[in-house]
């Protein structure tokens, strides 16, 4: 179960000109233990900051001007650990145009209405509470340490997937790696090769789907001089090139059926015939195959030979899609960003990802998996202004497909269907909290809110005007 959010002992200043919104935020933050200082203008903000060393400042975007920023900067000078958040409307589009002075001092941009549970998690993470230790990017697992030069991971699912990787590498058996496009099948194959006793030999990859059917036989087995028109000299194929090493057959499911017969014979006899050749050539090659389609179904459909399938499927690794290993997304995103910044000649420390940006990345479906994440992070780094200190959601959103979210807006609201009311809360405050939450659910529509609450619209108005 998720731990209930707790901001006990955290002092928060909230600047919001809208009384209803200010009251709602104050009640929700009070409900999780925070000491809230609500203000509706800059005079009130100055009074609070002059008398209280607040831990967090939240300001509505429309209230953030140069005077506000100067007060925040002055307070951060005295208390460097102070966090500053700007509350924007439902979408982040309006945030991108905010002044540079704001972007240089803000820790993150948040959407209205404030998701208090997620906000509490951000605060706990940023102020270094023990409960937030799970967000650390440190990798200490022995398996992770072993594959770290090639893999960055911390998700339990990925650890379980790769837990037998050292034993698989030590074997000389064929390996079948399955998974969606972009999950890192070739990278896994390279790790198996590097950790194996064949690491001193060559690693030779070939994409069976990228080579025309008329050419793939020659690519794999080579050809003799004069074997066909244009064969002016003998040419070694991938099997010979991979002698004493590893041959990686990517997208094996795209291999023509007639060639699958020859491949099976090679695996059984450990020898090949070049195209046009009459003498067998002994080869010592370990074959690792990969496919992004279900080969078992391909066998049932007559598109892949069952005997070859069972010959390749000795040791099996099925790589999960990135959307199922959410814990790895921030780790990989930071890695790809830093690599891109380094290639561009930026000097560390590099801009980091805001908490809200990480949240967005974790909710994206990543149809292209790790490859798509790498490409997007490279694009973001390339287009980021040079004076940027942090990467916010509006830096990321233009590069993401709008139809690829694991949690659309309506689903996101579902985690706000309930409201926590601490024991002993005054009944008047309970009523205010329920009204506030219901209005958020209806996006401010009082008629719908009254219907949900089971009271008349006039009664609701009367309660709001008190």
CATH of the domain at 432: 1.10.10
Its pTM stands at 0.76
Residues 173 and 244 in one domain: yes
Residues 68 and 5 in one domain: yes
Q: Is residue 448's pLDDT more than 90?
A: no
Task: Tell me what pLDDT residue 259 has.
Answer: 93
Q: Do 272 and 240 touch, CB atoms closer than 8 A?
A: yes
The answer as to whether 421 is a domain residue is no
Residues 210 and 174 in one domain: yes
CATH number at 358 reads: 1.10.8
Percent of the chain with pLDDT over 90: 60
The answer as to whether 339 is a domain residue is no
Q: How many domains does the chain have?
A: 4
CATH number at 243 reads: 3.40.50.300
Q: Do 147 and 134 touch, CB atoms closer than 8 A?
A: no
Q: Considering only 115-124, 263-272, 338-347, 419-428, which range has the smallest mean pLDDT?
A: 419-428
Nearest to 223 by CA among 274, 258, 290: 274
Residues 83 and 166 in one domain: no
Q: Do 267 and 286 touch, CB atoms closer than 8 A?
A: no
Residues 394 and 432 in one domain: no
Give the orientation angle of helix 116-126 with respect to helix 355-363, to 10 degrees.
Answer: 120
The answer as to whether 258 is a domain residue is yes
The answer as to whether 286 is a domain residue is yes
Task: Tell me what pLDDT residue 401 has.
Answer: 84
Structural domain boundaries enclosing 460 = 427-465
The answer as to whether 207 is a domain residue is yes
The mean pLDDT of 296-313, rounded to a whole number, is 95
Residues 156 and 267 in one domain: yes
Residues 110 and 253 in one domain: no
Residues 114 and 219 in one domain: no
The answer as to whether 418 is a domain residue is no
Residues 284 and 390 in one domain: no
Residues 18 and 85 in one domain: yes
Residue of higher predicted confidence among 130 and 202: 202
> Model confidence over 220-237: pLDDT tens digits?
999 888 878 777 888 899
Q: Considering only 4-8, 259-263, 405-409, which range has the smallest mean pLDDT?
A: 405-409
The residues, any chain, with a CB within 8 Å of residue 286's CB and separated by 6 or more, are 172, 174, 193, 196, 198, 245, 246, 247
pLDDT band at 118, cuts 50/70/90? confident
Residues 392 and 442 in one domain: no
pLDDT band at 316, cuts 50/70/90? very high
Task: Tell me what pLDDT residue 461 has.
Answer: 77
Residues 166 and 308 in one domain: yes
The answer as to whether 436 is a domain residue is yes
Q: Rounded mean pLDDT of the chain?
A: 86
Tell which of 135, 155, 175 closes a domain.
Answer: 135
Q: Is residue 444's pLDDT more than 50?
A: yes
> What values do phi and psi take at 397, rounded to 5?
-55, -40
Q: Considering only 110-119, 296-305, 357-366, which range has the smallest mean pLDDT?
A: 110-119
The answer as to whether 61 is a domain residue is yes
> Model confidence over 348-378: pLDDT tens digits?
999 999 999 999 999 999 999 999 999 999 9
CATH number at 107 reads: 3.40.50.2300
């Amino acid at each position: 179960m998720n731990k209930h959010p707790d901001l006990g002992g955290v002092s928060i200043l909230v600047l919001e000109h809208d009384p209803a919104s200010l009251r709602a935020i104050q009640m929700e933050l009070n409900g999780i233990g925070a000491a809230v200082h609500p203000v509706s203008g800059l005079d009130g903000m100055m009074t609070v900051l002059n008398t209280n060393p607040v831990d967090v400042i939240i300001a509505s975007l429309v209230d953030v001007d140069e005077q506000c920023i100067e007060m925040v900067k002055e307070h951060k000078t005295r208390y460097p650990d102070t966090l500053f958040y700007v509350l924007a409307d439902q979408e982040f589009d309006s945030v991108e145009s905010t002044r540079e002075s704001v972007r240089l001092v803000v820790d993150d941009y948040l959407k209205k209405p404030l998701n208090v549970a997620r906000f509490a998690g951000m605060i706990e993470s940023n102020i270094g509470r023990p409960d937030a230790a799970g967000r650390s990017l440190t990798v200490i697992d022995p398996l992770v340490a072993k594959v770290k030069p090639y893999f960055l991971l911390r998700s339990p699912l990925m650890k379980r997937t790769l837990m037998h990787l050292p034993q698989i590498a030590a074997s000389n058996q064929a390996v079948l790696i399955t998974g969606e496009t972009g999950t890192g099948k070739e990278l896994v194959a390279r790790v198996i090769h590097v950790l194996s006793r064949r690491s001193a030999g060559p690693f030779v990859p070939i994409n069976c789907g990228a080579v025309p059917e008329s050419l793939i036989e020659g690519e794999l087995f080579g050809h003799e001089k004069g074997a066909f028109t244009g064969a002016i000299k003998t040419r070694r194929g991938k099997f010979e090139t991979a002698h004493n090493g590893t041959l990686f057959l990517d997208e094996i499911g795209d291999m023509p059926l007639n060639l699958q017969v020859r491949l099976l014979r090679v695996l059984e006899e450990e020898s090949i015939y070049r195209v046009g050749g009459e003498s067998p050539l002994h080869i010592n090659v370990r074959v690792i195959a990969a496919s992004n389609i279900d080969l078992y179904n391909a066998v049932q459909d007559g598109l892949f030979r069952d005997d070859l399938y069972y010959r390749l499927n000795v040791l099996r690794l099925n790589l999960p899609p990135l959307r199922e290993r959410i814990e790895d997304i921030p780790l990989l995103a930071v890695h790809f960003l830093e690599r891109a910044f380094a290639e561009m000649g930026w000097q560390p420390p590099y801009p980091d990802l805001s908490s809200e940006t990480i949240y967005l990345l974790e909710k994206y479906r990543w149809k292209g998996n790790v490859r798509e994440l790498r490409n997007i992070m490279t694009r973001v780094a390339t287009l980021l202004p040079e004076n940027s200190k942090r990467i916010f959601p509006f830096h990321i959103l233009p590069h993401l497909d709008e139809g690829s979210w694991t949690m659309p807006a309506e689903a996101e609201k579902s985690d706000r269907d309930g409201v926590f009311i601490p024991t002993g809360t005054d009944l008047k405050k309970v009523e205010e909290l329920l009204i506030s939450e219901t209005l958020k659910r209806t996006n401010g529509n009082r008629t719908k809110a009254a219907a949900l609450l089971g009271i008349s619209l006039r009664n609701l108005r009367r309660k709001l005007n008190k």
